[in-house]
Structure 1
Amino acid sequence: MSLRVSSAFAALTLVLSSVAAPVAFAKPTSGAAAVKMIDTDNDATVDLKEVQAVASATFDRLEKDADGTLDAKELKGRLSKAGVRQADPDSDGTLDKKEYLAAVAERFQAADPDNDGTLDAKELNSKAGKALLALIK
């Protein structure tokens, strides 16, 4: 009987933690799956506002030492060393939230070749789209 209760408790805990968890991509995500997770207005595309909302939550989740910035360790390979240098205009070796969101916006623009201000599943599956998703996962 106690095994049954423990299993039920574990299942309930798993369900509750998945409901309360912010959008996160544990594995590489397809463009279609990413659109479903990010698209809050259900128009089958994602705009910069939707992407930056996820990116902001990602920044908050990654920022472990409460200094308001992400260093290379906290970024966990989301940006190369050159990418960090490019996104770091004050050259302090870390990214604050404003710098991080600017890097997200830059990757968004690169993934939007038709410049319509939205990304669909096909655009998110492109090399530039995958680079954007890597930054916000």
Structure 2
Amino acid sequence: MSNAKGDRRERELVNRLDEAGFAVMRAPASGSATTRELPDVLAGNGEVFYAIEAKSSAGDPIYLSGEEVEALIYFSRNFGAKARVGVRFDREDWYFFHPGDLYVTDGGNYRVKKETAVADGTDFDEFVGRSVRTRLGERTDD
């Protein structure tokens, strides 16, 4: 996210993770501040560590480039964190996905539709361990 609204949404996510007991850090301007591709947010609570690429949209759907997702996975593996894509649509909460669970377009990019986020995404409370929601086929790996 590189716009004012996106920056605001990232700060919102950081604050919510902090309130949930996570140590959290936002990488300002993500990849533009450095030549290295960095996730938008790093968060951990001593038990689980996440590298999060955060995206928000007033509309539908949200797209991520193949390079963004590859960089997230690469960083996460080297850092020892779980790679997650966090999406937030207007009038909805944050939802999280393992990169391998995202829809891949014919062009090699990734897409999340609002209805997919609400139906299949991990909601914020579940993400931070406040609730457990069991779904068939849910990923348990990194």
Bigger strand fraction: 2
**Same fold per TM (> 0.5)?**
no
Bigger helix fraction: 1
Normalising by the smaller structure, the TM-score range is: under 0.3
Computing the radius of gyration from Cα coordinates, the structure with the larger value is 1
TM-score with structure 1 setting the length: 0.27
